[in-house]
Amino acid sequence: MAGKVYLVGAGPGHAKLITVKGLECLQKADVVVYDRLAAPQLLGAVKPGTRKIYVGKLPDRHTMKQEEINQLLVDLAKEGQTVVRLKGGDPTIFGRVGEEAGLLKKNGIPYEIVPGVTAAISVPAYAGIPVTHREMASSLSIITGHESPDKLDRMIDWERVTHATGTLVFMMGVSKIGYIADQLMRHGRPGTTPVALVRWGTRAEQETLTGTLADIEQRVREAGFQPPAVIVVGDVVLQREQLKWAEFLPLFGKRILVTRARSQASRLSERIDELGGESYEFPVIETAYPDDPKRLDEIRDALSRLGSYDWVFFTSVNGVEYFYRHLQEQGRDIRELHRAQIAAVGPATADALKQRGLVPVELPGRFQAEGLIETLGSRLQPGERVLLPRGDLARAWLPGKLAEMGLEVTAIDTYQTVMSQDEDGELLKLLEEGAIHVVTFTSSSTVTNLIAKLKQMGAQDPVRLLNKAEAACIGEITAKTAAEAGLRVSVVAEQATIDGLLESLCSYLNASHEQAQ
Q: Please give the positions annotated as active site.
A: 35, 57, 172
Task: Classify the C-alpha dihedral 385-390-393-398 as positive or negative.
Answer: negative
Compute the distance between CA of residue 424 and CA of residue 282 in angstroms, rounded to an integer: 8
Compute the distance between CA of residue 439 and CA of residue 450 in angstroms, rounded to an integer: 10
Q: Which residues of 376-398 are buried (b: 16+ CB within 10 A; e: fewer)?
A: beeebeeebbbbbbbbeebeeeb
Q: Which residues contact 270 (CB under 8 A, 6 or more apart)?
A: 279
69, 77, 200, 206, 437 from 107: Cα distances, Å: 14, 10, 36, 41, 46
Compute the distance between CA of residue 334 and CA of residue 327 in angstroms, rounded to an integer: 8
Three-state secondary structure call for residue 58: strand
Compute the distance between CA of residue 472 and CA of residue 204 in angstroms, rounded to an integer: 18
192, 388, 458 from 363: Cα distances, Å: 62, 16, 43
φ, ψ (nearest 5 deg) of residue 432:
-65, -35
- Which H helix or E strand runs over 240? helix 240-243
